[in-house]
Chains A and B, each alone.
Chain A
Amino acid sequence: MTGTVRALVVGLAVIAVGIVVASVRVNPYIYFAGYVILQYVVIATAWNILGGYAGYVNFGTPAFFAMGAYTAVFLIKWMKAPLPVLILAGGLVAALLGLGIGYLTLRLRGTFFSIATLALSVVLQTVVMNWEYVGGSRGLSVIRPSGPPFGSYVVFLFTVMVGLAVGSVLVARFIERSWIGRGLAALRDDEEAAECMGVPTLKLKLFATTVSGFLLGVAGAPFPYYVTFVEPNSAFALDYAVNALAMPMIGGTTSWVGPVIGAILLGTTSQLATVTISSEMNLFIVGVVLVAFVVLAPEGILGLVRRLRGR
């Protein structure tokens, strides 16, 4: 219990730091880049709940992320809904998608599940491309509300993302340390044995796809206001699928710290690469780093640290 209290305090402290950073008005680029990195903290953490804890590799991250983004686009166009509503609705719609997909595909194990999630992304993108109300394939411009806190909408979104990142990390940490996390670890190790030891594997997997979907949708919901122009190719970008998987793998998948480390490290690197080299280079760098880790340190940075300590 004291651990949970401490985690909450640390989380609040991080949010406070975020607000301080927002009010000191440094170079605006910092907020732009910071938003993306924090968004990846949410995405990597969400992905890891299903991919790391339960061992079900999801290639369909863009589908869930875009579901959050397009739910927001729809609500903005329909009723100019406020940001908290967008985030909650985006999360819930993506959670429903997670639950549905989980129910349909979790009988598939390993690679087959991954292929199904990849297909999901392609199918949903096609649907959105043909849905004129949210802009279809041409995309849609979104006008930010006027008079945001901190005087700039991007700075405001940055602080929102700090809060979402802290929230999702706390959720992941809580799951990891609860009976749910232990059950997920058991089914990741051996699903048949877990079921035979009393673990309700189907229910736990559905829980994981739903929570993971929810947080991915939450990450996507502020996206329209961040970019102000939403079109399918950017909302369903391959970057999300690759990064969502690479970041936890590089950080370490068995603990909530792993995705956070991976997201900050890889997110920062690719932001730097985008500015200093070219935007095309950053996916290439992610790919190379991922291959290097899979070969040299399959348990990520956390695994490396553990191995060094063990010696």
Chain B
Amino acid sequence: MAPLLEVNGLVKRFGGFTALNRVSLTVKAGERFGLIGPNGSGKTTLINCVSGALPVDGGVIRFDGRDITTLPAYQRTRLGLVRSFQIPKPFRSMTVAENLEIPLEYAAAGRAGARGGADTAEILASMGLAAKAHLRPAGLTQIEMRKLELARAMAARPKLLISDEAMAGLSSAEVDDILTILFRLNEQGITIVMIEHIMRAVMRFSERIVVLDAGERIAEGTPDEVVRNPAVEKAYLGE
């Protein structure tokens, strides 16, 4: 199958510090893709470059056959490349339902599959947030906040969803809850890139994993292959 997301030789520097050094990866359509690496390895920087929050210093990013390297973030979202945030960033002055209406109106409108108002209720129901539709984000629990983050990303009607540590700090049961949601989204045909520290989750979820360390790609493979890779062990545990 043709790659949906193709990152080629990506370079990102902050002053004299090279955060990403010629990183390449491809994500196929429909895939469940894991991105892991120790703290400070460049995962979030990579996501920020791919989603358009940060300009790159070199390399090419292609999405759905199109060069998006210099495209503003909002246009990438409209193409179907959508991210969620590690620390939930809800629109606090709006209700939960209104939070979803922003991407529905700005990103999904006019695109196939967008039906407006009915979508909000449907997405909220599928996330188990239907009863909270008229609450403000301040009234949500931590897990509900994470679900809102995913629900809002879904309202943008993504082809590719980048889930940036959606499970950090959650209990084991809550992690399973989020995993179930992500599996279901994938079954609906959404390609998912998961960035996660919780190994149990990322190993169970991903079909393929890329490992970053100190801004370089050090390994790629199925979860089993990656776990047995000595370079990965060294990156996480030292010599």
Contact = CB atoms under 8 A, between A and B. Distances in A.
Nearest to A55: B93
Contacts of B107: 197-198
B152 interface: yes
A186 B73 contact: no
B102 A190 contact: no
B91 A190 contact: yes
Contacts of B90: 189-190, 193
B72 A199 contact: no
A295 interface: no
Interface stretch (B74-82, B121-129, B201-209): B74-82
B102 A196 contact: no
Nearest to A187: B91
A189 to B, nearest CB: 4
Interface residues of B, number: 28
B46 interface: no
A200 B89 contact: no
A183 B93 CA distance: 12
B92 A195 contact: no
B73 A195 contact: yes
A80 interface: no
Interface in B196-218: none
A189 B89 CA distance: 9
B94 A189 contact: yes
Residue of A193, A201, A202 with most partner-chain B CB within 10 A:
A193
A182 B72 contact: no
B89 A192 contact: yes
A282 interface: no
Contacts of B101: 182
Contacts of A78: none
A121 interface: no
A300 to B, nearest CB: 14
Main secondary structure of the interface of A (DSSP, over half): helix
A205 interface: no
Contact of B106 (A183, A188, A254): A183
Contact of B77 (A188, A196, A202, A254): A196
Contacts of B156: 197-198
Nearest to B103: A197
Contacts of A196: 51, 53, 73-74, 77, 82-83, 85
Contacts of A194: 91, 102
Residue of A182, A190, A197 with most partner-chain B CB within 10 A:
A197
A179 interface: yes
A195 to B, nearest CB: 5
A276 to B, nearest CB: 39
Interface in B128-174: 152, 155-156
Contact of A185 (B52, B77, B93): B93
A159 to B, nearest CB: 37
Residue of B92, B94, B101, B102 with most partner-chain A CB within 10 A:
B102
Contacts of B82: 196
Residue of A185, A189, A195, A196 with most partner-chain B CB within 10 A:
A196
B105 interface: yes
A189 B102 CA distance: 12
A195 B105 CA distance: 13
Given A182-B101, A182-B105, A197 B94 contact: no
A57 to B, nearest CB: 16
Interface in A151-191: 179, 182-183, 185-186, 188-190
Nearest to A183: B106
B106 A185 contact: no
A198 B77 contact: yes
B103 A198 contact: yes
Contacts of B108: 198
Given A183-B106, A193-B85, A201 B91 contact: no
Contacts of A197: 74, 77, 102-103, 106-107, 152, 155-156
B94 A185 contact: yes
Residue of B78, B89, B106 with most partner-chain A CB within 10 A:
B106
Interface string A191-224: 0111111111110000000000000000000000
Given A179-B105, A182-B102, A183-B106, A195 B74 contact: yes
20 contacts: A179-B105, A179-B106, A183-B102, A185-B93, A186-B91, A189-B93, A189-B94, A193-B91, A194-B91, A195-B73, A195-B74, A196-B82, A197-B74, A197-B107, A197-B152, A198-B103, A198-B108, A199-B102, A200-B75, A201-B74
